[in-house]
Amino acid sequence: MLLKELTELNGVSGNEDEVREFIKKEALLHATEVKVDSMGNLICYKKGKSSEYKIMLSAHMDEVGFIVTGYKDGVIKFSPIGGIDERILPGARVLVGDKKIPGVIGSKPIHLQDKEERGNNIKLKGMYIDIGADNKEELERLTSPGDYIAFYSKYTEFGDNCIKAKALDDRVGCAMLLEILKESYQFDLYACFTVQEEVGLRGAGVAAYTVNPDLAIVLEGTTCSDVPDVNEHEYSTVMGQGAVLTLMDRTSYPNKKLVEFIYNTARENNIPVQYKKTTTGGNDAGKIQLTRGGVVVASISVPCRYIHSPVSVMSKKDFESCLNLVKKVLDKLSGDASLIGSFKD
């Protein structure tokens, strides 16, 4: 499923080149046509037996990370790109710039903190990145302001079919799209690998405007909160209980008929499925839904614990549920193309 290869590539928002080139190489094996637009989106067209309808599948290539903003006393000052919980940062390993210079995120050691400081979380403005340089001049030879910084984390399989990696949001979606490109359908399929989702869903709107689809499904890695100290009624999703369908979030309101159709397809085929029980967050569906005269959208996601961190965790079983569900949904739409237009009624 290429998840190891995809998650170990670096693609902080605005710098998706490495991820795009890998995906492009894989997509060319199966797509009819592959294009890169002015934003950097990778749009892969798979011609169907009929061109009456166009279906867009979308997954974003970018990941959260950081950017070099300056230097101080031989260390790098930085700012976040995307939503990152600063509490997880001290001690994290990172790679800086195109040279992938190893570094660690540091802060004042606990031995030097006063009582008040020890009682508070360290703020990002008090952190820095140490790459082992002696002074500012050495830093300036090795890096430049504007260099991107990615988490360093190796793909690891552990436990009962679990995976730990960075960037599962949304390399899980990218991995699924590459698998789906191997299939053929009655309709024209557009597999869109988008950019800059983590900084405002910027690429998806452009891609959707270009494709002008009759229907779109976003494939995502979404929040999973089935952990200690979270009440069960506050769980967003539960790892191991299958594909996740979004009813509503901060950016989009998926088409209810399409969501119900997807849910029923899962139940008919004994595919584990669950609804997302929170309305926080958002994904590319928010911009796709508002494109041109409006697009029928839905989201199918893999639940991922510790999202937007270097140690995000998912279940292979949930990935398989999502992939199988998307394939079954597309098979049904391919078998009865009239369904595609029915969700607008």
Single out the residue of 289, 323, 57 nearest to residue 187, CA to CA: 57
Measure CA 265 to chain center: 24
Answer yes or no: are the C-beta atoms of 40 and 176 closer than 8 Å: no
User: For strand 93-96 and strand 101-106, is the pairing parallel, antiparallel, or unpaired?
Assistant: antiparallel
Answer yes or no: are the C-beta atoms of 215 and 339 closer than 8 Å: no
Locus of tokens 């990145």: 129
**Residues labelled catalytic:** 197
b vs e for 269-280, b when ≥16 Cβ sit within 10 Å of the residue's Cβ?
A: eebbbbebebee
* Partners of 165 in the β-ladder: 312
Return phi, psi of residue 29, to 5°: -70, -20
- Give dist(CA 178, CA 27) in Å, integer: 6
CB count in 10 Å sphere of residue 320: 18
